[in-house]
Amino acid sequence: MNNPARIQATQIGTIEPDVPDDVLILAASWEERCLGVASRLRGYSCKTVILTVYDGPSKLRENHIKQLTELLAPVGNTHRIETLHANPLANVRQTVALLESLGGKMPPRITIDISTFTRKHLLQLLQGLDLAGMLQSFRIYYTESADYHTQDDEPISQGISSVRAIETFTGHNTPSRDSLLVLFLGYEGRRALALWEDLEPNLTLVVIPDPPLRNEWKGRTENQNKYLLSCVPPEHVFRSHSLDPQDTEHLLHRLIEDPAYSTDKYDYTVSPLGTKPQVVGVYRFWRRVRGLFTIMYASPVRYREERATFPAGPTWLIDNEEGWHGDTFGPTSES
């Protein structure tokens, strides 16, 4: 299978035609886009469905769980695994343990819907599966939201409860070096600004998703982050594709290879507050250079369920195992 290069998925079948996948992994959410992949399965079957359910009461989420249960009943045996927003590592361990207990083909064929996992959870899930040797035959899908509330720079989350390194993603730091922050921006301007002010890096490089998920959204990220961008020189503003993880991986590779931003001069910190496909790209790079940089996360005070008013948008096949193994970097993808 070649790199998917952002293929819109209107009908989703199995990884190998006429052969059931081993597992489908997805998360229930109060966002309607959690139904995107499940509603587009056609001729799909798998041995096990792993449905992650986050903590906290949510009538919308419970309604979506009912719909997911109906959609997934013909697909395979569903296992529901609870998780905490604040600490999803237990969920990752249970997910890996469940896969190991199934036996059968190893490594397994895995389809992952990343749409409504938190960024922190997504990074830890990919790492858990990767270290267990389970990311050898897989596909990653992502469903957009039809739109976002962007009137106050906090479309989904509200406030900042803490800024800290993600567990299992702490890099090496040398006190004699200056600090460099690579900050991926999205529509959460206040969250990005709070993280930047908390870290006070010596040098900040910002990354804007470009092209954006939709052409009509061009310039929206810049509008949501006006003050922060006014504090960063234009030459420190970079761009990577909103839907192509490989583009983000290549950008990070170019940065550390640039003498101006050399890892001999700087301790790197990366904060992926952009799109979920960019988060996958950050992990793609992390796994090649483990420990070279620290990934920081700004935890929100709460998620704003009352703003979950938009339906699911298109679903995209954004990645598979191609390009995850081997040490070479080819030409960058379209940006």
pLDDT reading at 106 higher than 90:
no
pLDDT reading at 152 higher than 60:
no
- DSSP characters for 175-214? TTSEEEEEEE--S-HHHHHHHHHHH--SEEEEEEESS-SS
pLDDT in tens, 277-288: 999 999 999 999
Pick among 3.40.50.11700, 3.40.190.10, 3.30.70.640, 3.40.50.2000: CATH of 7-148+307-320: 3.40.50.11700
**Cα–Cα distance measured from residue 180 to residue 272, given in angstroms and rounded to the nearest whole number:** 14
Residue 334 is predicted with a pLDDT of 36
Average the pLDDT over each of 109-113, 155-159, 190-194 and give the range with the smallest value: 155-159
Q: Cis before residue 245, ω within 30 degrees of 0?
A: no
Residue 244 is predicted with a pLDDT of 96
Residue 153 is predicted with a pLDDT of 45
pLDDT reading at 6 higher than 80:
no
- For residues 321 and 287, the answer to whether their CB atoms sit within 8 Å is no
**Cα–Cα distance measured from residue 240 to residue 277, given in angstroms and rounded to the nearest whole number:** 10
Average pLDDT, the chain: 90
pLDDT band for position 306 (cuts 50, 70, 90): low
Q: What angle do CA 292, 296, 298 make, to 5 degrees?
A: 175
Average pLDDT over residues 74-83: 97
SS3 3: coil
pLDDT reading at 39 higher than 90:
yes
pLDDT reading at 2 higher than 80:
no
Q: Between the CA of residue 257 and those of 18, 121, 253, 254, 328, what are the distances in Å?
A: 44, 29, 6, 5, 14
Q: Domain 160-299 belongs to what architecture?
A: 3-Layer(aba) Sandwich (3.40)
- DSSP characters for 219-277? THHHHHTHHHHHTS-GGGEEEE-SS-HHHHHHHHHHHHHSGGG-TTTEEEEEEE-S-HH
pLDDT reading at 240 higher than 50:
yes
Residue 235 is predicted with a pLDDT of 98
Q: Between the CA of residue 85 and those of 90, 93, 118, 143, 193, what are the distances in Å?
A: 11, 15, 8, 20, 21
SS3 331: coil
pLDDT reading at 243 higher than 60:
yes
pLDDT in tens, 47-76: 999 999 999 889 999 999 999 999 999 999
Residue 236 is predicted with a pLDDT of 98
Average pLDDT over residues 227-246: 97
pLDDT reading at 224 higher than 70:
yes
pLDDT band for position 188 (cuts 50, 70, 90): confident
Average pLDDT over residues 316-332: 74
CA dihedral (98, 101, 107, 113) in degrees, to 10, reads: -20
pTM: 0.92
Average the pLDDT over each of 12-21, 57-66, 177-186, 323-332 and give the range with the smallest value: 323-332
pLDDT reading at 156 higher than 50:
yes
**Cα–Cα distance measured from residue 99 to residue 136, given in angstroms and rounded to the nearest whole number:** 14
Provide the token pair at 236: 């420190």
Q: In what order do the strands lie in the sheet with 293-299?
A: 162-165, 293-299, 266-272, 178-184, 203-209, 237-240
pLDDT reading at 264 higher than 90:
yes
List every span in the chain annotated with CATH 3.40.50.11700.
7-148+307-320
